[in-house]
Amino acid sequence: MTQAPAPGEHDIVAKPLRHPWRIVWAVVLLVVVGLFVYSLATAPTINHAMVVQYLFSPLILNGALLTVVLTVASMVIATVLATVLAVMKLSENPLLKVIATAYIEFFRGTPLLLQIVFWGYLGMIFPNVIVGIPFTNIVFFNAPTHEVIPMLAAGLLALSLNEAAYAAEIVRAGILSVDAGQSEAAKSLGMSGWYTMRRIVLPQAMRVIIPPMGNETISMLKSTALLHVIAVAELYTVATQISSQNLAQVELLIVAAFWYLVMNTVLGFPQRYLERRYGRGFSRTTGKTRIGRGGLNGGHV
């Protein structure tokens, strides 16, 4: 403190604080992971050639493709339905509120696996889908249920309807996170309730909604494997069908695991794009999102 530094001079040249334990732990972890990989790679019980052989087999690739399609389709359907449910639950209309609440309670309150089987076996409860006027003989449409709702559609339905219940709460949280002053300002300009929701509230809620929805997407990608029980030919079903014939269970599980990891990594990219898109205006310097400029410095200014 003898002399003040000249303005603008970077006069702090300190030795960085040392963290010796970090290095120790890093080494320990590396050794453990290395041993695991080594034991997998050298295990005589695993047929490594077979893993490589099936990794790019058309059957497996088609299964993986269907998994992606199911994931994306059910997330899209679920998000739309969730937004409707969230708005219903927040509305002043008691009927809408009750319907949304009951829906959410029901689909969150029963196991997804059960719901999948239920939709798959719907034909056993209602053998025919009939559209007509009740208690009369007038029928416009009559077809066997399993033709109207094939297993693929049943699976898609089960995943979307279940996910919508969870996503509805995420969307509701997002809507509630927007300051009440925003709606007041919109009202004072003569905007209707629906217009305010669509143009003012939801775009701001997206910032809060997207990260947990990314989480849900990852979860959904893995939940598609449950469609195994109704024989939808997605990745896991295909892998187990192959292994039930050649008895190479572990090899095909490794193949499936590899593709699940790859797909989840790729699905993370759209999330980053969306976060940037809806983060506009929420950071001081550029008007772009904090995430977009992240880099090594951690980003937020």
| Smallest distance from other proteins to CB 79, Å | 19
| Smallest distance from other proteins to CB 179, Å | 8
The DSSP bridge partners found for residue 131 are 141
Contacting residue, 283, 291, 292, 293, with other proteins by CB under 8 A: 283
Decide whether 222 or 280 has the Cβ nearer to other proteins.
280
110 neighbors 162 (Cβ within 8 angstroms): no
Binding of other proteins at residue 282 (CB under 8 A)?
A: yes
- Helices 58-90 and 235-246 cross at an angle (nearest 10°) of 150
Binding of other proteins at residue 276 (CB under 8 A)?
A: no
E-assigned strand segments in the chain: 128-132, 139-144
Contacting residue, 8, 20, 181, 298, with other proteins by CB under 8 A: 181
Binding of other proteins at residue 105 (CB under 8 A)?
A: no
Closest CA to 115 of 176, 52, 81, 157: 157
Contacting residue, 182, 219, 244, 265, with other proteins by CB under 8 A: 182
Stretch that binds other proteins, among 36-44, 191-199, 250-258, 289-297 (CB under 8 A): 191-199
Decide whether 20 or 181 has the Cβ nearer to other proteins.
181
| Smallest distance from other proteins to CB 11, Å | 33
258 neighbors 55 (Cβ within 8 angstroms): yes
Decide whether 114 or 301 has the Cβ nearer to other proteins.
301
Count Cβ neighbours within 10 Å for each residue of 258-295 and write b for 16 or more, e otherwise: ebbeebeeebeeebeebbeebbeeebeeeeebbebbee
Q: Quick one: CA dihedral 114, 119, 123, 129, positive or negative? A: positive
Spatial distance between the Cα atoms of 268 and 277, rounded to a whole number of angstroms: 15
Residues in contact with other proteins by CB under 8 A are 179, 181-182, 184-193, 195, 199-200, 203-204, 278, 280-285, 287
